[in-house]
Amino acid sequence: MVSVPGWTSDDRAWALGLTEYEATRCPRGHNLAESLDKEWKWIPDPPVVCFACVALDNTVKAYENHPEHRAMLHSLHKVPRPKPKKRR
C-alpha cells in the first residue's frame, strides 16, 4: 500500500472503505448489486419539493441578467416562518 504523508492507518482504512463503497454504486448512488438484479421491478416514488432548492433557484434566476452572475455564490439561511394571524 502506498503511504501518504500525514495519513494515519485509520485515514487509509476510511479512504479504502470509501473507494470500495463508491465502486458498488451507480452514478446516482444506488447499490449496483440490487439495482442490476432483474428479479426486481423499480417503481419511482412521487417527487418531493425541497423548499431550500426552490428559494435558491429563485435567487439565482433573479440575478441571471447581472453582469457578474456567473461568479456569484448563492447561499441560504433558515428563519422561522411568520405565524398566521389569528382570525376573530
Q: Tell me the per-residue pLDDT of 45-83, one tens digit each, with 9 for 90 and over.
A: 999 999 999 999 999 999 999 999 999 999 999 999 999
Q: The C-alpha cell of 19 is what? A: 473507494
pTM of the predicted model as reported, rounded to 2 decimal places: 0.50
Q: Per the structure block, which three cell numbers stand in for 38?
A: 432483474
Q: Tell me the C-alpha distance between 18 and 3, whole Å.
A: 17
pLDDT digits (tens, 9 = 90+) for 5-38: 889 999 999 999 999 999 999 999 999 999 999 9
16 φ, ψ (degrees, to nearest 5) = -65, -45
Residue type, 2: V
**Measured distance CA(80)–CA(46) in Å, rounded:** 27
